[in-house]
DNA sequence: ACTGATATGTTATTAAGTTACATCAGTTGC
DNA sequence: GCAACTGATGTAACTTAATAACATATCAGT
């Protein structure tokens, strides 16, 4: 239903590693340009270096793209294998992103698709709002 | 759960009408810049004219923004009053967008939010894939 | 060493969205 | 009528996001 791993991941290239590490150690999602800035010292000069690495990482399922933010996060799941549809809850105050998967939503999407002859390739579910921590402060 | 109408709509301004009509008569979603081009003859010169109108129209619930496309569509529902969460199925071949609402998904989102102390303000559900028509051709 | 596939580097360009500032039109209060 | 306020508009400049085009490098397999 959601994105499948189309490429076999063996080893990350240098650039992919740098981009992934930048995302992994960040508190929240980063835009491609923010990543670029963080990696200037590692020799990154142009957006394309970041976008190319991101494309692969998303393909591998190690990174998710947040459509409503034009930004990217490292996948929260340690070994990031197969999971179904993933939903994101994005705090508009602190920027924190919670990732969860939900089979019921996935079934509903599949159901609508089946009923309408639609063949889904990727499903985006993003909830914008305020997280518990920010609401209590 | 999803976006609420925060502004009371009475009459559309000239620019809002122009932008809405452009969207309403389009077959699929349009980007802000595409709208701008269509409205050059009506005196539009700058992106901001489009964005300002779009902001209001989205506020009124007459237009939806497709996050995964950076584009906008006129709402499919005639009187576009209250509906709950709206999902979009977007054909990547022909660009056609189907809009549907789904209470089960809305409940799931609400449920997760309640369990996690998250207060949602807007929920995005976008399914990318291929529509029935395109699959049979 | 030669070939093909993948990864990289670099420049320039297109697309998307915002900031800042000036103006204009309608309304409300006096 | 006129000041004061509010919302809509126009315009230029700018930032941010993403891609196109082209050159080069790296490496596996033969």
Residue nearest to nucleotide D13 (CA to C1'): B46
Angle (CA) A114-A56-A2 rounded to 5° is 15
pLDDT at A3 over 90: no
CA atoms within 13 A on the CB side of A5: 14
Query: pLDDT value at position B77?
Result: 81
B136 → chain A, closest CA residue: A117
Query: pLDDT value at position B9?
Result: 52
Residues of chain B with pLDDT under 50: 1-8
Which of residues 20-79 of B have CB within 7 Å of strand C?
31-34, 46-48, 51, 70-71
Q: Which domains does chain B have, with CATH numbers?
A: 14-135 (1.10.10.10)
How far is Cα B108 from Cα B103, in angstroms, rounded to an integer?
9
Q: What is the ipTM of this complex?
A: 0.89
Q: How far is A32 from chain B (nearest CA, A)?
A: 16
pLDDT at A9 over 60: no
Count CB-CB contacts under 10 A for residue B112.
18
User: In Å, what is the separation between the CA of A25 and the C1' of C15?
Assistant: 30
How far is Cα A80 from Cα A61, in angstroms, rounded to an integer?
7
pLDDT at A118 over 90: yes
Q: For residues B88 and B81, is the Cβ–Cβ distance under 8 A?
A: no
How far is Cα B83 from Cα B89, in angstroms, rounded to an integer?
17
For residue A34, which phi and psi values (nearest 5 degrees)? -65, -40
Q: Which residue has the tokens 């690495």?
A: A53
CA torsion sign for A48, B92, B112, B119 is positive
Chain pair A-B, CB pairs under 8 angstroms:
119
B33 close contact with A: CB closer than 8 A? no
Instruction: List pLDDT tens digits, range A62-106.
Output: 999 999 999 999 998 866 666 689 999 999 999 999 999 999 999
Q: How far is A122 from chain B (nearest CA, A)?
A: 5
For residue B101, which phi and psi values (nearest 5 degrees)? -115, 150
Query: pLDDT value at position B79?
Result: 65
Nucleic acid strand C within 7 Å of A27 CB: no
What share of chain A has pLDDT > 70, as a percent? 88
Query: pLDDT value at position B6?
Result: 41
User: Distance between the two ends of chain A, CA-based, in angstroms?
Assistant: 38
Q: For residues B97 and A93, is the Cβ–Cβ distance under 8 A?
A: no
Interface of A with B in 48-87 (CB under 8 A): 67-68, 87
Q: How confident is the model at residue A10 (pLDDT cuts 50, 70, 90)?
A: low
pLDDT at A50 over 70: yes
Query: pLDDT value at position B80?
Result: 61
Nucleic acid strand D within 7 Å of B17 CB: no
Query: pLDDT value at position A80?
Result: 61
Q: How far is B43 from chain A (nearest CA, A)?
A: 31
Query: pLDDT value at position A94?
Result: 93
Query: pLDDT value at position B44?
Result: 97
Q: Which of A91, A121, A131 sits opposite B129 (nearest CB)?
A: A121
Q: For residues B54 and A113, is the Cβ–Cβ distance under 8 A?
A: no
Strands A71-74 and A63-66, by their bridges, are antiparallel
Query: pLDDT value at position A11?
Result: 85
Which residues in chain A have their CB less than 8 angstroms from residue B95's CB? none
Lowest mean pLDDT across A106-115, A117-126, B73-82: B73-82
């Amino acid at each position: 239903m959601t994105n499948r791993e189309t490429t076999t991941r063996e080893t990350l290239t240098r650039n992919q590693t740098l981009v992934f590490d930048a995302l992994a150690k960040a508190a929240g999602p980063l835009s491609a340009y923010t990543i670029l800035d963080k990696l200037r010292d590692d020799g990154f000069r142009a957006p394309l270096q970041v976008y190319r690495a991101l494309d692969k990482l998303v393909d591998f399922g190690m990174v998710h793209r947040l459509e409503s933010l034009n930004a990217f996060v490292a996948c929260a799941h340690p070994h990031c294998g197969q999971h179904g549809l993933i939903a994101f809850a994005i705090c508009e105050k602190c920027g924190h992103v919670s990732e969860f998967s939900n089979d019921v939503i996935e079934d509903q999407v599949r159901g609508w698709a089946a009923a309408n002859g639609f063949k889904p390739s990727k499903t985006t579910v993003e909830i914008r709002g305020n997280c518990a921590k920010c609401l209590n402060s």
